[in-house]
Structure 1
Amino acid sequence: MPARIADRPVPAFGATAGAAVGAATQAVDDLRAHAAKTTGVLGHLSAVLIRADAVASSQIEHITTSSEALAVALADLSDEEPDPYPADTELVAANVTTALQSYRAEEDVTSDWFHRRHRSLLAAHPELLPHNRGAWRDSAVWIGPSRQTADFEGPPHGRIPALMDDLVRFMRRNDVHPVVHAAIAHAQFETIHPYADGNGRVGRLLIHQLLDAGATPVPVAHGLVHNPTGYVDGLMAYRDGDLDAWVTVFALALCDGARAAVRLVDRIDGIASEYHQRIRTRSGSAVSQILDGLLHTPAITAGEIQSTYQLTPGRASQILHQLAEASILRQSAHRAGRARVWVAHAVIDAVDTINASIPRRLLAAADDSNPKRGLVRGPLSEELQI
């Protein structure tokens, strides 16, 4: 049973956790300042960064798809039934779409906020029963091969409504540092484990509700996916009352995500410049708008161009071939129904590139005075390993 936290004072942190929170705060500030300089792509960055975070969040749950298949699914280019995409692609696409809608919507967090996100995220889940979508679980949950040998078991399902009401009240506080606020809320949610499935993805969505990142959401899941054991151990430490250990793990993941996002912002800005150098066109023209739109939605069809920009079929086809000759677009192996799909491969690859660029953190040997495996001990530094 997790403690109630709505009115509980946040304790002072030790030197390691305090330094980690300071480093994370600086990394987020640096990302915001850096993104503000890239005025040509600033309006597209929330979509790009949320997509990066949602892809990494899905990877933590071992739900993966190719970046190109995901781009085609997100563009929603097919109106044919049944849905032509594999289940994993649908789940990752739902994660991206739900995360972006959640980030852009200015809503107070309530129980209904959680339920709507859960329904959207798990709509394509092949095994989750319909009555479990968007509803608190009605049975026990545990992590491990069996309930008898579980590493973790969530609180009794009858306690969930009260525990979630307490969490919602905590999330409405304005006296907690944003990094600490997000860290505690996420860990508390994962400890309550209120849903039959999808708790990790929903729990990582709420992080964006509390981090003060402006137009540049931090893909914190990128940092977490590169240290999965430390992530789990940090949550276990939180459940054991070691807030310092969990906040340190979370803050370091936030640092990694923010620094990776800076690299992604630079890459997207560079791609935008390259596109407009390869295709000389007047500002505001259909071609110029298409080039900018590819940063947000890097998959397109001739029919989409025709309807969006009010062009003839001949002109739409001409533009597609013009962009293909400039190596901006290429035909995808994926199709939207019967229509051919063209993809901006450089934009698609950019998200994969930042994921690969984050160094995987190694697990240090456990401190004799605290046997929790993988927890951070010692002074914080650039080289700190967890």
Structure 2
Amino acid sequence: MENELWRSWDDESPRTITVSRTVPPHIGNLAIPALEPATGEALVEATRAVSDLRDRAAETTGVLGHLSAVLIRADAVASSQIEHITTSSESLAVALADLGDDDPDRNPYPVATELVAANVTAALSAQRGGEDPTEDWFHRRHRSLLSVDPEMEKRHLGAWRDCAVWVGQNRQSAEFEGPPWEKVPALMADLVRFAARSDVHPVVHAAIAHAQFETIHPYVDGNGRVGRLLIHRLLDAQPAAPTAPVPVAHGLLHNPDGYVSGLTAYRQGDLDQWITVFAEAVTDGAHAAVRLVDRIDGIAADYRQRVRTRQGSSVSQILDRLLGTPAITAGEIQAAYKLTPARASQILHQLADAGIVRLSEHRAGRSRVWVAHDVIDAIDTINATIPRRLIDTRNGPSASGPMPSPPA
């Protein structure tokens, strides 16, 4: 076929090339084959770990409402790290606080911070929304994630790709190339049908749907992040369960080479290897989440010891709020709790004297920002507890830009 990157002045740029595209089968109504005993054991362990997380979350009276935000934030940070998009936790906390300062002189956040913040926001929406994945569901998440990316063309936001995508140094030697773009709408319609099924084990359901999505690679960029949002929607789709999303990206970050090789195995028809890798990531993520729940529960109890206040008071509500949104300004306190400037300042200084908040180096326009550093550090600590190998960062250009490996 014609080489889209052919350049007449480049001797190493051939006019025509041979490519190998991966076109997955339709799975909407496909029967799930019997799995090997070792795969079954990995599924049992993952199921037990998820159950333990939800049981532990149910015990955290008083902070349960904040766990979803904390766990999703931790997972979104890990999901972004998989593709080398990083920011400081404090900068992220300030960006996510939505401090509402309309100062025209306000400095914009770094692109990486905005991308990670968009990941957190989209993940919370996916996990809490309760919607079944549809074509519109995918497009809205894609727009939410990529609208702040200056390298993303507007015509590609929330739209199936109209070009080839691949992973590798160049298209001719690509490690993986997605199916022809003309096939994407039908393949995604089939995936939507599979996602709506209720007859598949939840871990298997999320594993297959994620691998199928990454194989279709329906967007020019952002496929990894959108695909990991799909995991949350399917794995956490249990309304009766406590709100304790599993940070699966933590487990995938624990073994990025296994993540890539597992997806490759899926594309070659080895369902057992992929489901085992995915189930182990669920187990690792659930265990990390339990540690984070314990830490947040301990922080909440410590706050109550440091500052004695009656239940339901402004101070009590602010302490609760800081668990899920660890950045605040005096103006925000005034507006949210109908306090005078003097009282808002008094509360912040009371919390600072107790070692609960400190002034951040980041600002919201002209306003000073206070951060609950213990909550921010808790997420950093959980990230640090997962040993991870370096990911192969060789990039291969697509017709619209770079395509990182593993999926972005």
TM-score band by shorter chain is: over 0.9
**Other-structure match for 1:331:** 359
**Structure 1 stretch 39-48 or stretch 180-189: which is displaced more?**
39-48
2:210 is the alignment partner of 1:210: no
Query: What is the DSSP-based 3-state SS (H/G/I as helix, E as strand, rest coil) of the residue aligned with 1:332?
Result: strand
The letter of the residue matching 1:143 is: V
Among 315, 320, 324, the alignment partner of 2:348 is 320
> Match for 1:349 among 364, 377, 390?
377
In the alignment, structure 1 residue 80 sits paired with structure 2 residue 108 = no
Counterpart of 2:58, as a letter, is: A
For residue 273 of structure 1, what is the aligned residue in structure 2? 301
- Distance in 2, Cα, partners of 1:17 & 1:10: 13
In 1, the alpha carbon distance for the partners of 2:390 and 2:339 equals 54
SS in 1 for 2:361: strand
Q: How many residues align?
A: 363
- The answer to whether residue 120 in structure 2 is matched with residue 120 in structure 1 is no
CA contact (8 A) 2:363 2:369 kept: yes
| Identical-residue share of aligned pairs (%) | 72
Give the C-alpha shift of residue 199 in structure 1.
Answer: 0.1
Secondary structure of residue in 2 paired with 1:206:
helix
Q: Choose which of 194, 206, 213 in structure 2 pairs with 1:170.
A: 194
Moved more, 148-157 or 209-218: 209-218
Question: Match of 1:158?
Answer: 182
Equivalent in the alignment of 2:277: 249
Could you say which residue in structure 2 is the equivalent of 1:231? 259
Q: How does 1:1-386 map to 2 (within 5 A)?
A: 1-77=23-99, 78-81=101-104, 84-212=108-236, 214=241, 215-360=243-388
Structure 2: how far apart are the matches of 1:332 and 1:320?
Answer: 13
Cα distance between partner residues in 2 of 1:134 and 1:113: 10
The whole-number CA distance in structure 1 between the counterparts of 2:363 and 2:176 is 43
1:115-170 CA-to-partner distances (Å, cap 9, x unmatched) read 00000000111111000000000000000111001100000000000000000000
Tell me the TM-score normalized by structure 1.
Answer: 0.92
Structure 1 94/10 Cα, relative in aligned 2: closer, same or farther at 3 Å? same
With structure 2 as the length reference, what TM-score do the two structures score? 0.87
* Structure 1 runs not aligned, ≥5 long: 364-386
- Segment drifting more, 52-61 vs 188-197: 52-61
Q: Summarize deviations over 1:217-266 as a string: whole Å, max 9, x none.
A: 00000011121111000000000000000000000011000000000000
After TM superposition, give the deviation of residue 17 of structure 1 in Å: 1.0
Q: Compute the displacement of 1:211 (Å).
A: 1.1
Distance 1:44 1:88, change over 3 A: same
Q: CA RMSD in A?
A: 1.4
Is 2:107–2:365's contact at 8 Å kept on the other side of the alignment? no
- State the SS of the aligned residue for 2:141: helix
Q: CA deviation at 1:361?
A: 7.8
CA contact (8 A) 1:84 1:337 kept: no
User: Contact 2:256 / 2:389 at 8 angstroms: preserved in 1?
Assistant: no
Alignment partners' CA distance in 2, 1:200 and 1:109 = 16
Quote the Cα distance in structure 2 between the aligned partners of 1:356 and 1:266: 16
CA distance in 1 between partners of 2:371 and 2:132 (Å): 36
Unaligned stretches of 5+ residues in structure 2? 1-22, 392-408
Cα offsets for 1:269-316 (capped at 9, x unmatched)? 000000011000011000000000000100000000000000000000
Counterparts of 1:49 and 1:13, CA distance in 2: 30
Counterpart-to-counterpart distance in 1, 2:64 and 2:156: 38
Say if 1:294 and 1:344, in contact at 8 Å, map to a contact too: yes
